[in-house]
Amino acid sequence: MEWLYTVGIIVVLSLIVYFQWPIINPDQKKEKMTFMTLLIISLFLAVFLVFFPDTTSPMQVLEKIFRPLGKLLS
C-alpha cells in the first residue's frame, strides 16, 4: 500500500512540474534550480513520512532540547 501512495506522490509532483515549468522563463536558471531542489526535498520528505509515519515532529525535538532551559529560567 505504501508503494501506491508513493506513486501517487510522484504523479502529483509530476503534474506540478508539468504545469509550473513552462511558466518559469528560460533565462531564470536559479529559479528553476530552486524549484527543482524544493520539489525533490518535498518528495523525499513525503515518501519518508509514508514509510515511517511514527517519526517525531520537529516541534517535539525542539521541546526536548529547550525544556530544561525553560525550567532553568523559571
Q: What's the whole-model pTM score?
A: 0.73
All three cell numbers of 58, joined, read 520537529
pLDDT tens sequence across 11-27: 999 999 999 999 988 89
8 close to 34: Cβ distance less than 8 angstroms: no
pLDDT tens sequence across 43-69: 999 999 999 988 888 888 889 888 988
Per-residue confidence (pLDDT) for residue 72, from 0 to 100? 83
Per-residue confidence (pLDDT) for residue 20, from 0 to 100? 94
